[in-house]
A and B are shown apart, each in its own frame.
Chain A
Amino acid sequence: MISCERLTKSYPMGSGRKQVLRGVDLQIEPGEHVGFLGRNGAGKTTLIKLIGGVEMPTSGRIHRHMSVSWPLGFGGGFQGSLTGYDNARFIARIYGHEYKEIRDFVEDFTELGPQLKMPVKTYSSGMRARLAFALSLAIEFDCYLIDEIIMVGDANFHKKCHHELFEKRRDRALVLASHSPETIREFCDRAVVLNQGQAKIYADVNEGLEVYAGL
């Protein structure tokens, strides 16, 4: 389980501060699929970063009682000047996994071929998405944090993700931030709508989507 208690987060803005989250309480149970909805700048990415431990909350606490992936998104997690293989090596080392197993899985899942020998900064966002998913799936987490990036892949990537994440690992928890109602409806069993720094939780995804559409 992951529990967030009264999380607030503010960033310096000019001479004042921008209050992004104003007291968010949220629990994510094992195996649960939670969709984050909210307009641009509502704090979806910020909340995912806090849950993933990338940034620290201004106040409040986060307890993680299961292993949580790093946020899979457009930025971060990789060293752009290193090749796909070198990044895989690094990830394998810091998570204490056998590089060979990780490499085999990455080659098979990403289908990037010789591109894996190129620096990650030369990758398109779809290619980055493939690498990020392959690495985090190879490490095996109890909870995956996905920020938008699932949408950038092509049909083949979607099929693979679907198979690896929603079939083989359907017992894992998932946090998915997205603007796409179809994605949230398809994959999530709860919706969290972020608006004006507050998080409202909807046990019925369709109800959450309606509220989101009305924002």
Chain B
Amino acid sequence: MDKLAAGWRIQRRVISALMIRELVTRFGRENIGFLWIMVEPLLFAVLVGIVWRFMKGPEEHGVSVVAFVASGYIPLTLFRNAVGRSVRVFSVNGSLMYHRQIKVLDFIFVRFLIEMIGAMMAYLFIGTLLILLNEFPVPADLGAFFTGWFLYCLFSFSLCLVLAPLSEMSDVLEKFMPVTIYIMIPFSGTFAMVSWLTPEAQNAMYYSPFVHAMELMRQGIFGSRVDAHYDVAVPLAASLVSALIGLGLCRRIRRHLVVE
């Protein structure tokens, strides 16, 4: 028990040290520093929101277009960035392997955590701004929203656990990653509620863990103005399977890792 507590203390120390190190190396200490982490999701949500606003008008299916785009794009950007940051994470962090208390899971987790915090800050910023401009509803059910957010993050992270070691095993993966992510965008629930789709499309969406999490988030924001379809068990089960595979792969990679 004592050993477990000591291990937990060390890992907490390591994770906070890694967070600071990662933020300093990525954003430096000049100008707005670590606030840069929210700039990208923010720009995405705002610019795409404006474009859609002019293409589709102020409202679609009874909800604000800008609010709908923002609520979809921020999680999507989080997922894309998190996956991008986990590619070759072992090779680029080779120098960390010199310190035995740093485990490979620590730096995969830290990279994800930074993306997640950036996305949450961007969400808070843009949400507050749009509420003041009357373009975003006051969230109807924060509990539902955060459950959805948590599931979305959980599944994204469990995918990172698989993709990080796979990207070390094969260079081919890196080449296919951008196009795969592009193809999966329609299955991420970003652009439409399931209830807006044809029955065939609805059936297909059921198998995407992202969609369930996204529907739950949108119910939390828009409340009864949307008809959310979700099953919490799907993203939970998918995350569990993916995380187990990922942990096995990470362990394998660590055993064979060649450190300069």
Q: Indicate whether A93 sits within 8 Å of B259 (C-beta atoms), given known contacts A54-B97, A77-B95.
A: no
**A155 partner residues in chain B, CB cutoff 8 A:** none
Contact with B along A69-89 (1 / 0, CB 8 A): 011000111111110001001
Q: Indicate whether A94 sits within 8 Å of B14 (C-beta atoms), given known contacts A49-B259, A79-B21, A81-B25.
A: yes
B14 x A79 contact (CB < 8 A): no
Q: How far is the CB of B252 from chain A (nearest CB, A)?
A: 11
Can you name the residue of chain B whose Cβ is closest to the Cβ of A119?
A: B25
Docked Cα-Cα span, A95 to B17, in Å, equals 10
**A86 partner residues in chain B, CB cutoff 8 A:** 21, 24
Q: Which of B13, B94, B256, B259 contacts A94 (CB 8 A)?
A: B13
Question: Which residues 135-187 of B have a CB within 8 angstroms of A?
Answer: none
A82 x B14 contact (CB < 8 A): no
Can you name the residue of chain A whose Cβ is closest to the Cβ of B17?
A: A93
**A56 partner residues in chain B, CB cutoff 8 A:** 254-257
Interface residues on A, range: 20 to 34
Which of B13, B97, B101, B102 has the most A CB atoms < 10 Å from its CB? B97
**B97 partner residues in chain A, CB cutoff 8 A:** 54-55, 76
B258 x A75 contact (CB < 8 A): no
Interface residue SS majority, chain A:
loop
Q: How far is the CB of A62 from chain B (nearest CB, A)?
A: 11
Can you name the residue of chain B whose Cβ is closest to the Cβ of A75?
A: B260
Can you name the residue of chain A whose Cβ is closest to the Cβ of B101?
A: A94
B132 on the interface (CB 8 Å rule)?
no
Docked Cα-Cα span, A105 to B218, in Å, equals 55
B100 on the interface (CB 8 Å rule)?
yes
B25 x A94 contact (CB < 8 A): no
Docked Cα-Cα span, A89 to B21, in Å, equals 9
Docked Cα-Cα span, A196 to B95, in Å, equals 28
A187 on the interface (CB 8 Å rule)?
no
Contact with B along A144-159 (1 / 0, CB 8 A): 0000000000000000
B134 on the interface (CB 8 Å rule)?
no
A126 on the interface (CB 8 Å rule)?
no
Docked Cα-Cα span, A52 to B98, in Å, equals 7
**B254 partner residues in chain A, CB cutoff 8 A:** 56
Q: How far is the CB of B253 from chain A (nearest CB, A)?
A: 10
A78 x B258 contact (CB < 8 A): no
A93 x B257 contact (CB < 8 A): no
Which of B13, B98, B260 has the most A CB atoms < 10 Å from its CB? B98
B25 x A90 contact (CB < 8 A): no
Q: How far is the CB of B141 from chain A (nearest CB, A)?
A: 39
B21 x A76 contact (CB < 8 A): no
**A80 partner residues in chain B, CB cutoff 8 A:** 95
A23 on the interface (CB 8 Å rule)?
no
**B101 partner residues in chain A, CB cutoff 8 A:** 94-95
Q: Indicate whether A55 sits within 8 Å of B98 (C-beta atoms), given known contacts A82-B21, A93-B13.
A: no
Question: Which residues 242-260 of B have a CB within 8 angstroms of A?
Answer: 254-260
Docked Cα-Cα span, A82 to B23, in Å, equals 11
Question: Which residues 72-129 of B have a CB within 8 angstroms of A?
Answer: 94-95, 97-102
Q: Indicate whether A94 sits within 8 Å of B24 (C-beta atoms), given known contacts A54-B259, A56-B255, A79-B95.
A: no
A79 x B99 contact (CB < 8 A): no
* 21 residue pairs from A and B, CB less than 8 Å apart: A49-B259, A53-B100, A54-B98, A55-B97, A55-B257, A55-B258, A55-B259, A70-B98, A70-B100, A76-B94, A76-B95, A76-B98, A76-B259, A76-B260, A78-B95, A79-B95, A90-B17, A90-B21, A93-B13, A94-B101, A95-B99
Closest 10 CB pairs of A and B: A93-B17, A70-B98, A53-B100, A77-B98, A56-B255, A76-B98, A94-B17, A54-B259, A75-B260, A90-B21
Q: What would 7 more interface pairs be, CB under 8 Å, given A52-B98, A55-B97, A56-B256?
A: A52-B100, A53-B100, A76-B259, A80-B95, A82-B24, A90-B17, A95-B99
